[in-house]
Amino acid sequence: MSEYSTFSPLHSEHSAESPHTPFLMNQNNGQVPLTIPHTIALQDDVEIKKETTITVKRRKTNIERLLLILAILILIATIIVLILVVIRLPPKGNTTVTYNRKVVFIIADGISADTLERLPVPNIRKIQETGRYKRAYVGGDIGTYSQTVTISAPGYMNLITGTWGNKHNVYDNVVNNPNYNYKNIFRLVKEQQPARTIAIFSTWIINRIRLVGEGLTSAGNLMFNYKYDGYELDSGAYPHDSNSLYIYNIDERVVNETAKCIRDNGPDVSWVYLQYTDDIGHKYGDSEQMNQAVEYVDQQVGRIYEAIQYRQANYKEEWLLVLTTDHGRDANTGKNHGSQTERERTTWIVTNYHDTNRYFDEYQPAIVDFMPTMMRFLKLKIPIESEKELDGIPLIGDVSLVKPEVSLSGSTLNVRWKSLAKAGNVKVWLTTTNAYKNGLTDDYKLLGTVPVTNEQAVFNITQYQSNFYKIVLEGEYNTVNKWIVQSRG
């Protein structure tokens, strides 16, 4: 046995040390306290404190890293949100917004369909081969409220508003009191997308200042971004002559300005008006002079089309070109127009757009169809209050119904149409007011909803007794309308 052995009683009243202090027993059974050096205990405490400090520092560092990462993520998210907000903000100041769909419509005055069809016009044929050609008509519905005289200013107004004379109120070339509540394509475009650019290139300043009504409050305070017109007022640069050579020279300038502006600026919606053919028609009628004038138009259209092709090739833009005329000519001499004879009513459309719809293919388009066609190409929706007044139908894209007819027998309203859709419904609306012409809203009543394929509907309208009705047929893809105007007894 060793000199000392250890013993650790739980408690001893003889021990001078704490009851928990261990001690040694010697050979004489003497108790020797076992004392642990304080230095060892202190070293252990220091090590523990060091480890604790290191652990705390590590945790603090990890927390700081997490906070830094979180701050960076918040900053990135904020930047993304700001970018999205800026992108969606409407353009201000000199901010430039570009669009890749553009429209040009050209009116070559007073060229009958049969004249265009028999002449060698290679540039126009080139456009036709790319797109489509078809005879169209002007003049509204003969013998009804929509009949419109077949002369220039009413024809232009038919085109830019998509309505007949009973709405836009232009029946002559004086243009005293046009109704601007029937909005033209320039106004519709600018009201929806103010950053879009509009242009006019014209041999007749009346087109801009009277028909469109540039700058007039009643016409929406519309201003063109590019305008080249009024040259006929400069008799110094263009002295007037009896053979209208000055008009030809102005047409040439208008075309040159058009081609240059399209190449350099690519306006979103452009109107080009050429007058020389109508002047020659009035003077010479169906003649070699008229044939030559049409061939001049072909050359001019070719230059404009080259500018369009340049934009398509270099700017990745899609362009819709619509070439048409405002009226035909009388069958006897070719010198006159204004009446409702077939040759005076018959016009035409040439477009570079090939994918026309069933309506274009199966029916004769009207000049009022061009505006909704151009709006659809631009992917802009016509507001419903304007759409209810439209007399035109788009020549591209889906169409639900065409050729509406309405008749009233006592209190029974008969409604018919031709369906171009295989499914869907038609909502039939009625109002006895015409507040829209005064810039107000009509109170339409829904008479009923019927399948578009029914192609007819009958309603009892005893509760809506009136001498005047506007009937609107609202399909899935388009809306058409008809009026009933009864003489007061």
From residue 153, give the alpha-carbon distance in Å to each of 140, 175, 327: 14, 7, 10
DSSP secondary structure code for residue 366 in this structure: B
Residues 284 and 317 in one domain: yes
Are 344 and 338 in contact, with CB atoms under 8 Å apart?
A: yes
pLDDT at 8 over 50: no
Helix (H, G, I), strand (E, B), or coil: what is residue 9?
coil
pTM for this model (two decimals): 0.81
Residues 340 and 456 in one domain: no
* Per-residue pLDDT, 424: 98
Percent of the chain beyond pLDDT 90? 79
The answer to whether residue 19 is domain-embedded is no
DSSP sequence for 295-361:
HHHHHHHHHHHHHHHHHHHHH--EEEEEEE-S----TTTSS---S--HHHHEEEEEES---B-HHHH
d(CA 404, CA 144) in angstroms, rounded, equals 14
Q: Provide the token pair at 386.
A: 């304007």
What strands, in cross-sheet order, belong to the sheet with 412-419? 401-409, 412-419, 456-460
* Per-residue pLDDT, 6: 42
Phi-psi region of 213 (alpha: psi -120 to 50; beta: other; left: phi over 0): left
Q: Tens of pLDDT along 270-323?
A: 999 999 999 999 999 999 999 999 999 999 999 999 999 999 999 999 999 999
Residues 339 and 424 in one domain: no
Confidence of residue 10 (pLDDT cuts 50, 70, 90): very low
Confidence of residue 9 (pLDDT cuts 50, 70, 90): very low
Range of the domain at 457: 401-485
Residues 412 and 466 in one domain: yes
DSSP sequence for 95-141:
-----SEEEEEEEETT--HHHHHHS--HHHHHHHHHSEEEEEE-S-S
Is the sign of the CA dihedral 251, 257, 262, 268 positive or negative?
negative
Residues 122 and 209 in one domain: yes
Are 17 and 23 in contact, with CB atoms under 8 Å apart?
A: yes
pLDDT at 341 over 50: yes
The answer to whether residue 82 is domain-embedded is no
Q: Which of 387, 410, 433 is a domain's end point? A: 387
User: Looking at 193-306, which runs of residues are DSSP E strands?
Assistant: 198-202, 226-228, 269-274
d(CA 67, CA 48) in angstroms, rounded, equals 28
* Per-residue pLDDT, 488: 66
Residues 380 and 414 in one domain: no
Residues 345 and 438 in one domain: no
The answer to whether residue 316 is domain-embedded is yes
* Per-residue pLDDT, 61: 78
Average pLDDT over residues 394-418: 99
pLDDT at 35 over 60: no
For the chain, the maximum distance between any two Cα atoms, rounded to a whole number of angstroms, is 157
Residues 121 and 258 in one domain: yes
Confidence of residue 65 (pLDDT cuts 50, 70, 90): confident
Other Cβ atoms within 10 Å of 400 Cβ, number: 22
The answer to whether residue 139 is domain-embedded is yes
Which of 457, 406, 460, 470 is CA-nearest to residue 427? Answer: 457
The answer to whether residue 35 is domain-embedded is no
Residues 136 and 252 in one domain: yes
The answer to whether residue 61 is domain-embedded is no
Confidence of residue 91 (pLDDT cuts 50, 70, 90): very low
Residues 280 and 376 in one domain: yes
Lowest mean pLDDT among 50-59, 250-259, 303-312: 50-59
Are 348 and 136 in contact, with CB atoms under 8 Å apart?
A: yes
Q: Which of 387, 416, 434 is a domain's end point? A: 387
* Per-residue pLDDT, 71: 85
The answer to whether residue 116 is domain-embedded is yes
Question: Domain with 467 in it: what CATH number?
Answer: 2.60.40.10
Q: Which of 328, 359, 387 is a domain's end point? A: 387
Q: What are phi and psi of 2, to 5 degrees?
A: -75, 170
- State the distance between the two ends of the chain, measured CA to CA, in whole angstroms: 145
The answer to whether residue 6 is domain-embedded is no
pLDDT at 59 over 90: no
Residues 292 and 439 in one domain: no
* Per-residue pLDDT, 154: 99
Average pLDDT over residues 356-366: 99
Count of structural domains within the chain? 2
Residues 407 and 269 in one domain: no
Average pLDDT over residues 54-75: 80
Are 223 and 292 in contact, with CB atoms under 8 Å apart?
A: no
* Per-residue pLDDT, 47: 62
